[in-house]
Amino acid sequence: MTTCQLYLISPLDVGGDFPERLVRALDAGPVAAFQFRVKGIDEHEAAALAAPLQAICAEREVAFIVNDSISLAKRLGADGVHLGQDDGLVEEARERLGRDAQIGVTCHNSRHLAMEAGEAGADYVAFGAFFPTTTKDVKHQAELETLELWQLTMEIPCVAIGGITPENCAPLVTAGADFIAVSGAVWNGDEAEAVRAFAKVLAAA
């Protein structure tokens, strides 16, 4: 059983002092991956915002994953892309980003969608939301049983997402999440303190 790892998702606003905050977060404890998630801006602007963050991740050997956009991931030479159900196909992402790219797919609470993603060649699948979250509108509620069954039957790593905090994440780890994806719990307060709190729980679980 591998240790569950932290997967950090950016807030929507990554300008201003956000690069310094990212440094603080990544230096506070082990983080496996950082997902660049911005909405409603053009690719040129997104690429400019991403560049310093990508460099910070590269220095610390943290995987830099782009949310939603295969073309932005390609343009940046990102480590991978995370696709929602409407963001394009795994096969297309693989073709454009190459065989070393990490490709993840949002699968809500559906093992069927997750199996399809796995068959298409995804590197990981994400289940959620497990808890109420203010980061995005929740249309799907995920259950611990989904993680447990996935872990028993499938080889592909799974990510748990949605309203996860240091206080509520232990059951997800026990159920078999390989990664827990967090955003608000880190960025809505002291990011370094939050990462340290998560690291403590993950090490103990």
Compute how many other C-beta atoms are within 10 angstroms of the C-beta atom of residue 32. 18
Which carries the bigger pLDDT value, residue 138 or residue 5?
5
pLDDT level of residue 94 (50, 70, 90 thresholds): very high
Name the phi and psi angles at 113, rounded to 5. -60, -40
Intra-chain end-to-end CA distance of the chain, in Å: 11
pLDDT level of residue 2 (50, 70, 90 thresholds): low
> Using alpha carbons only, what angle is made at residue 184 by residues 181 and 189, rounded to the nearest 5 degrees?
125
Compute how many other C-beta atoms are within 10 angstroms of the C-beta atom of residue 154. 15
Structural domains for the chain: 5-204 (3.20.20.70)
Residue 119 carries which DSSP code?
Answer: H
Q: Residue 11 and residue 30: Cα distance in Å, rounded?
A: 19
pLDDT level of residue 134 (50, 70, 90 thresholds): confident
Beta bridge partners of 180: 6, 160
What's the whole-number mean pLDDT along residues 158-166? 97
What's the whole-number mean pLDDT along residues 110-124? 97
Q: Is the pLDDT of residue 152 over 90?
A: yes
Q: Is the pLDDT of residue 1 over 60?
A: no
Q: Is the pLDDT of residue 136 over 80?
A: no
